[in-house]
Structure 1
Amino acid sequence: MSKESLPLLQETVIFTGSKEPLEAMDRVRNLGGTAIYLPLIATAIRQSELPDFTAYEWLIFTSRNSAEAFCMLDVPVNSKIAAVGEKTAEVLEQHGCRVDFMPSVYSADRFIEEFPRAAGKAPCLFIKGSLAKNTIASMDMPVDEWVIYETTLNIDNAKKLAAIKNAVVLFASPSAVSAYREAGGDWQGIKVAAIGHVTRDAILQNRGHVDFIPEKYTILDALNEIVKGSCLDE
C-alpha cells in the first residue's frame, strides 16, 4: 500500500485527553496508522451542594466533561444554555438540553467577546472543572462559578509518553501539557498537534513546538491537519 492510499502508514498518533476518541482512533487505523490512547488527565465528579439553578438565566459549559457531569444530575433546568465546542453541545443535546448560544470559534477567548452581546447583563453560572481558567468569569457581567468535577494529572501515563519518540502527540488542554512537562517530557523526537490557541500557547510557554493546529478546534479537525502534513512529507 502507498502513502497516497494510506497517508498515515507507519505513523503513530497518540491521543492524550480524558475521553477516548474512538472515532478519531478508528480513522487513524483506517488510514494505515497506529492509534494509541494515553490519557494525561483524569476527572471525577465533585460531591457538593447543588446551586439554585433558578437564580441564573444562563448556564455556561466549556467542556464535554462538565456537560456530562451536569447531565448525570438529571435536574430540571429552565435556564438558557451556552456551550463552547461541538462535543460539549452534542452531549447536552443528547440529554434533551437545547443549546442557545455557541461562539463562532470554539474557544473561551472568542466566547467572552461574543456572548455578552447575546446575554447582556443576565446572571450566569459557569459549570466547570477544578483546573479551568477564570476566563469566563472575567466577563463584565454577573457570572458565578460552580466546580462540578475535579481534574488530576496522570503522571504515570505522562512518564510513558515522555519516553516515546517518532510519534504525533495530540494535546487538547493546558493540563495535559502540564502533565507531560512534569513527567520530564522534552518535546524531542515527536510532532505536536494542539487543539486551540490556549493549548498551543501552553506548549510554546513550556518550550515546545507546534506542528499542527486546526482552524476548527476539534480532534477530528486536528487529525485532518496531521493527515495533510503526512501527505506533504512524501
Structure 2
Amino acid sequence: MKNIIITREASGFEEVKDLFIKAGFNPISFPLIRFEPVEIKNFNLEDYKYLIFTSKNAVKYFFSQIPKIDKKIIAVGEKTAKYLEKLGYKDIIVPEVFSAEGLKAYFEKNIDTFKDKKIALIRASEGMDTLLNSNFKIDLIPVYETKLNIPENVDEIKSLIENEKVYAIVFSSPSTFKGFLNIFKEESKKLLDKMLTVAIGKTTKNFIESQGFKVDVVPDKFTFEEIVKKLKVISKD
C-alpha cells in the first residue's frame, strides 16, 4: 500500500482520508497549517447583494459570528455548497472552476448581473488578490487566518521520505507548501525529489513553481476526489 502524505489541517485530513484508503493508498496526516478565527469587524450585511464563501472553513467561521443571512450566495466548490445546504441555504451559485480565477471568469461572463453590486468575499485573511483587484465591487471579509504548523510527526515523515517509502505528497494550498519549506528549509528539494509532488489546483501549482520547485500532478478538477483518481491511474503505469 503506497503512502500518501496529506498536508492539510488536521480536521481536513479526517474528511478525505477514506477517499485514499478506498483507492488502496495509505494516507498519512502531516498538518502543515492550522486555522484561527478572526473577529468580523466593520461589516454591515445590508451593504452586500452577494456573499462569496471560498471554503467550508469560511462558512464555519462566518456563521459562528453571524447567525443568519438572507442574501444571494456564491460558493467555491461543491463541498462548500453542500455545507451551506446543510445549514438550510438554497439556490447557491457554484462557478464551474473552483478558484479565484474561476470566480473572476464567472463574474466577467455574467457582468450584467454583477456590475455595480457590492459583494463580500468571505475567506481567510491570506489569499490571492485576483478578485479584489478586479473591476467588481468586492470587499474582503476575513473570518479566519492560516498559521504555519509544526506537526508532531516531523521526524517520522522525514525518515519515510528519505527511505523512499512515500509515493506522493499532496499540497492543498500555497500555505501548506510554505509550511513544508518552513520545516525542511534547504533540505526541501532533496526530499521532494524522492516522491511525487501533487498540487490541488493551479494557484497552489503556480506558487510551488514560483519557489523553484516542480509539480508532478494537478487534477483537472480541483478536488481531493480527482487527486485520488489521478494518482490511482498514475500508480498503475
Q: Which bracket does the TM-score occupy, shorter chain normalised?
A: 0.7 to 0.9
Shift of 1:50: 6.1
Does residue 132 of the first structure (1) align with residue 127 of the second (2)? yes
Shift of 1:194: 1.0
Shift of 1:71: 2.6
Does residue 210 of the first structure (1) align with residue 215 of the second (2)? yes
Does residue 77 of the first structure (1) align with residue 65 of the second (2)? no
* Equivalent pair of 2:31/2:150 in contact (CA under 8 Å): no
Work out the CA distance in 2 between the residues paired with 1:100 and 1:27.
26
Work out the CA distance in 2 between the residues paired with 1:71 and 1:177.
28
User: Which structure dedicates a bigger proportion of its chain to helix?
Assistant: 2
Question: Which deviates further from its counterpart, 211-220 or 153-162?
Answer: 153-162
Aligned length: 223
Does residue 86 of the first structure (1) align with residue 93 of the second (2)? no
Partner of 1:169: 169
* Equivalent pair of 1:13/1:170 in contact (CA under 8 Å): yes
Work out the CA distance in 2 between the residues paired with 1:50 and 1:90.
28
Work out the CA distance in 2 between the residues paired with 1:132 and 1:158.
27
Root mean square deviation, CA, Å = 2.0
Matches for 1:40-119 after TM superposition, within 5 Å: 40-49=32-41, 51-116=43-108, 117=110, 118-119=113-114
Post-superposition Cα deviations, 1:22-78, rounded to whole Å, max 9, x if no partner, equal 453223223433211111111011134361111100111112211121233352212
Post-superposition Cα deviations, 1:71-110, rounded to whole Å, max 9, x if no partner, equal 3335221211111111221221111123532221111112
Shift of 1:180: 0.7
Work out the CA distance in 2 between the residues paired with 1:28 and 1:205.
28
Does residue 224 of the first structure (1) align with residue 226 of the second (2)? no
Question: Which deviates further from its counterpart, 195-204 or 17-26?
Answer: 17-26
Question: Any stretches of 5+ residues in structure 1 without a counterpart?
Answer: 1-9
Structure 1 residues 71 and 84, CA, compared in 2 at 3 Å: closer, same or farther?
same
Structure 1 residues 163 and 201, CA, compared in 2 at 3 Å: closer, same or farther?
farther
- What is the letter of the counterpart of residue 223 of structure 1? V
Work out the CA distance in 2 between the residues paired with 1:209 and 1:55.
43
Question: Any stretches of 5+ residues in structure 2 without a counterpart?
Answer: none
Structure 1 residues 164 and 77, CA, compared in 2 at 3 Å: closer, same or farther?
same
Work out the CA distance in 2 between the residues paired with 1:30 and 1:120.
45
Structure 1 residues 31 and 75, CA, compared in 2 at 3 Å: closer, same or farther?
closer
Post-superposition Cα deviations, 1:98-143, rounded to whole Å, max 9, x if no partner, equal 3532221111112111124242221111112121222221221211
* Equivalent pair of 1:54/1:78 in contact (CA under 8 Å): no
Instruction: State, as a whole percentage, how many aligned pairs show the same letter.
Output: 26
* Equivalent pair of 2:40/2:65 in contact (CA under 8 Å): no
- What is the letter of the counterpart of residue 197 of structure 1? K
Partner of 2:178: 178
Q: Structure 2 length as normaliser, TM-score? A: 0.86
Pairing partner for 1:29 from 6, 21, 34: 21
Work out the CA distance in 2 between the residues paired with 1:47 and 1:188.
41
- What is the letter of the counterpart of residue 196 of structure 1? G
Q: Structure 1 length as normaliser, TM-score? A: 0.87
Partner of 1:120: 115
